[in-house]
Structures are given as structure tokens and as C-alpha cells.
């Protein structure tokens, strides 16, 4: 999954917003809280996708080949795909949807109502 595909998919998710932050990273939020990031740091480098995950899944995912604890976000159970083929596109989409659900679930009742969640 490249950055355009990442952004196109995240656009389809309910109650999400998109910003460009941190030197050009594509940052997706729900209720003002980040659930997925696609960064592209060096010329010629592939997009690196990071997302939030549950504590148990975080432990399991970081054991997978091509998946690492996300820099700066590992303590909050985020993982990063080291390369685009570390996971299938369908798998990435499922994990991103779940990341959005996890973050949306942490919003208070009023915020969830405001965003229609």
C-alpha cells in the first residue's frame, strides 16, 4: 500500500480528519486523536505506515517479520510496517479500521456524540 492508497482508504472511514504534520507525514485522526500515520522521510524511501493497536495484538504484531514498534509511539502500542509488503493491503485496511475504532472508543461520550460515533 502506498501513501495515495493509504489516504484514499482512510478517507472512507467515518468521522476522520486528515492533516499533514511532522515534515510531510499523512496523519489521520478521529475526534482529534491520531489513529494512523503514513510517513515518507527520505527520497526514494517507501512509505512507512504506523497505527495504534490493542496491547495484546501489539505484542503479537511486533513479533511478525517486517513489523516493528513505531518510533516515538511504541509505549502507546503503535506498530510500524518496515516495508510495504510486510502485510497485505486487505490486512492493513483491517488494522487501520480497528485502530480507528480503538481510538474512537477512548473518546468521551460527548465527543462520540459530536462525531456521530
Residue 73 pLDDT > 60: yes
Mean pLDDT, range 55-63, rounded to an integer? 78
Indicate the pTM of the whole model.
0.86
pLDDT of residue 29: 96
Question: What is the residue range of 65's domain?
Answer: 3-114
30-39 pLDDT tens trace: 988 999 999 8
Whether 113 shows a pLDDT value over 60: the answer reads yes
pLDDT in tens, 99-112: 999 999 888 788 77
User: What does the block give as the cell for 71?
Assistant: 518510533
Q: How many domains does the chain have?
A: 1
Question: Could you tell me the end-to-end alpha-carbon distance of the chain, in angstroms, rounded to an integer?
Answer: 27
Contact 115, 15 (CB under 8 A): yes
Question: CB-based contacts of 24: which residues, under 8 Å, 6+ apart?
Answer: 39, 40
Residue 58's CATH number? 3.90.1150.30
Amino acid at each position: 500500500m502506498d501513501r495515495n492508497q493509504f489516504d484514499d482508504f482512510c478517507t472512507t472511514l467515518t468521522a476522520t480528519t486528515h492533516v499533514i504534520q511532522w515534515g510531510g507525514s499523512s496523519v489521520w485522526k478521529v475526534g482529534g486523536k491520531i489513529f494512523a500515520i503514513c510517513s515518507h522521510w527520505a527520497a526514494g524511501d517507501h512509505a512507512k505506515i504506523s497505527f495504534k493497536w490493542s496491547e495484546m495484538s501489539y505484542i503479537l504484531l511486533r513479533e511478525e517479520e517486517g513489523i516493528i514498534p513505531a518510533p516515538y509511539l511504541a509505549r502507546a502500542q503503535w506498530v510500524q510496517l518496515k516495508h510495504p509488503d510486510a502485510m497485505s493491503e486487505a490486512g492493513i485496511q483491517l488494522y487501520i479500521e480497528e485502530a480507528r475504532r480503538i481510538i474512537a472508543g477512548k473518546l468521551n461520550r460527548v465527543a462520540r456524540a459530536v462525531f456521530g460515533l
